[in-house]
Amino acid sequence: MLLDLVIVGAGPVGATLALALRDGEMEIVALDARPRGGSARGDRSLALSHGTRLVFERLGIWGEVASGTDAVTPIAAIDISQRGGFGHVRLDAAEHDLPALGYVVSYRALQSALDSALARSGIRVEHDVDVTRVDATPAFAEVRGKRHGEDVEWTTRLAAVADGGGDVVRLRRRRHDYRQVALVAKVWTRQAHRGVAFERFTPEGPIALLPEGDHYGLVWTATPERAQDLIELPEGAFLAALATSFGPRIRGFARVEGRRSFTLALDLADHVVAERVVLVGNAAQALHPVAGQGFNLGIRDAFELAQELLATPRVQIGARARLAGYARRRRADRWSGISFTHGLLGIFGADSPLLHWPRGLALTLLDALPPVKRAFTRAMLYGLH
Please write the tens of the pLDDT for every residue from 6-46: 999 999 999 999 999 999 989 999 999 999 877 666 678 89
Lowest-pLDDT range of 29-43, 92-106, 256-270, 348-362: 348-362
Q: How far is CA 303 from CA 10, 13, 55, 193, 299, in A?
A: 14, 9, 8, 32, 6
Please write the tens of the pLDDT for every residue from 283-296: 999 887 766 788 99
> Residue 375 has what pLDDT?
60
Rounded mean pLDDT, 49-56: 93
> Residue 62 has what pLDDT?
97
Residue 209's nearest CA partner among 73, 374, 111, 382 is 73
> Residue 14 has what pLDDT?
97
Residue 361 CB contacts under 8 Å (≥ 6 apart), including other chains: 87
> Residue 361 has what pLDDT?
46
Please write the tens of the pLDDT for every residue from 169-190: 988 899 888 888 999 999 999 9
Higher-confidence residue of 346 and 201: namely: 201
For residue 81, name the pLDDT band (cuts at 50, 70, 90): confident
Please write the tens of the pLDDT for every residue from 105-152: 999 999 999 999 999 999 999 999 999 999 999 999 999 999 999 999
Contact present, 282 and 202 (Cβ < 8 Å):
no
Lowest-pLDDT range of 52-61, 107-116, 222-231, 284-293: 284-293
Whether 88 shows a pLDDT value over 80: the answer reads no
For residue 366, name the pLDDT band (cuts at 50, 70, 90): very low
Instruction: Please tell me what DSSP assigns to residue 248.
Output: G
Q: What is the CATH number of domain 2-42+107-174+268-344?
A: 3.50.50.60
Handedness of CA 332, 13, 263, 72 (dihedral sign): positive
| Residues facing 88 on adjacent strands | 81
> Residue 357 has what pLDDT?
44
Higher-confidence residue of 348 and 239: namely: 239
> What is the SS3 assignment for 274?
strand
> Residue 344 has what pLDDT?
59
Residue 266's nearest CA partner among 299, 292, 295, 289 is 289
Residue 305's nearest CA partner among 329, 286, 285, 274 is 329
Domain boundaries, the chain: 2-42+107-174+268-344
Whether 86 shows a pLDDT value over 70: the answer reads no
Q: Using CA atoms, how far apart are residues 218 and 261, in angstroms rounded to an integer?
A: 11
Length of the chain: 385
Instruction: Please tell me what DSSP assigns to residue 79.
Output: E
For residue 246, name the pLDDT band (cuts at 50, 70, 90): confident
Please write the tens of the pLDDT for every residue from 320-360: 999 999 999 999 889 888 876 766 565 445 454 545 445 55
Nearest-5° Cα angle at 158, 156 to 163? 105
